[in-house]
Amino acid sequence: MSSSPSCLGLLLDGPLQSWGHASRFERRTTALHPTRSGLLGIVAAAMGIDKHDPLEPDHLARLGGLKVTTALLPRHDRRRKPLQIRRLVDYHTVTGIRRGSGKIDDEATVQTYRHYLLDARFGVLLEGDHPLLEEIACALRNPKWGVWLGRKSCIPATPVLAASPGERGTTWQSLLRRAGYSGNEPLAQFDHVVETGPGEPGCDTIEDSPLGYGLPIGERHSTRSIHRIPGTQTQPA
């Protein structure tokens, strides 16, 4: 019998963020909101889940029941106006690539384009069984491996753990205060993404739910359904 549900708050704040979505080969794009794969990757790194461990899919399955809500918490300029998220495209050349056959070609050189978000800041609510969330919170306080906001170059500017497991409303208030808000702002004020059941009106289906980061390409993710909800308005923090 599962324990009562609880809620954990994360703050994703850093100069660069990149949430890979449909990004393979030469063009590595980023979604405009954190992906489930990226978020659970942060948790897995903090907990020390090794993608080379044959049991990695079983360890990740423990996280499969977590419900994720993400909200854009805008930064503000000196005039207290919300900053717009910008996109940065970083140009690279790479030698030694994997061909479509799966083989590495050590002689081939290709151009690659890697996309990043600038001036982005997100709040995340993770909902699930309280003991599991306590375990995750403990790992985030003292992570076994480094955590980053999508890629290794995207280092968090503040601790990722923003609110310890508790009741959803209390967690949301604590998360907002960590981001410089009063704590009284409703979720509906902000652009946010919620998970829905398949086929619900207005939902999108994306392939970003991790099954195993060490599995072969094409087998690492399953689909989930989300609903992107625009905020009513955003007042300066």
- Per-residue pLDDT of 143-189, as tens digits, reads 999 999 999 999 999 999 999 999 999 999 999 999 999 999 999 99
Please state, for a pLDDT cut of 90, what percent of the chain lies above it.
60
Rg (CA), the chain: 18
- Report if residue 147 sits inside a domain: yes
The whole-angstrom separation of Cα 66 and Cα 74 is: 25
Task: Look at residue 77 and tell me if it is in a domain.
Answer: yes
Is residue 153 in some structural domain? yes
Residues whose CB falls within 8 Å of the CB of residue 28, separated by 6 or more in sequence, listed in order? 18, 20, 112, 113, 114, 115
The token pair that represents 193 in the structure block: 């993404």
- Confidence category of residue 16, pLDDT binned at 50, 70, 90: very high
Length of the chain: 237
Q: Domain residues for 129? A: 5-23+31-83+119-229
140 burial via Cβ count (<10 Å: 0-12, 13-18, 19+):
buried
For 17-75, the pLDDT digits (tens) are 999 876 566 677 898 999 999 999 999 999 999 999 999 999 999 999 999 999 999 98
What is the CATH number for 146? 3.30.70.2660
Number of domains in the chain: 1
Note whether residue 94 is domain-resident: no
Task: Evaluate whether residue 217 is within a structural domain.
Answer: yes
**pTM for the predicted model, two decimal places:** 0.87
Contact 213/51 with Cβ under 8 angstroms?
Answer: yes
Residue 145 lies in a domain: yes
27, 152 contact by CB (below 8 A): no
**Residue closest to 123 by CA, chosen among 77, 179, 198, 182:** 179
Q: Is residue 50 assigned to a domain?
A: yes
Is the CB of residue 212 less than 8 Å from the CB of residue 219?
A: yes
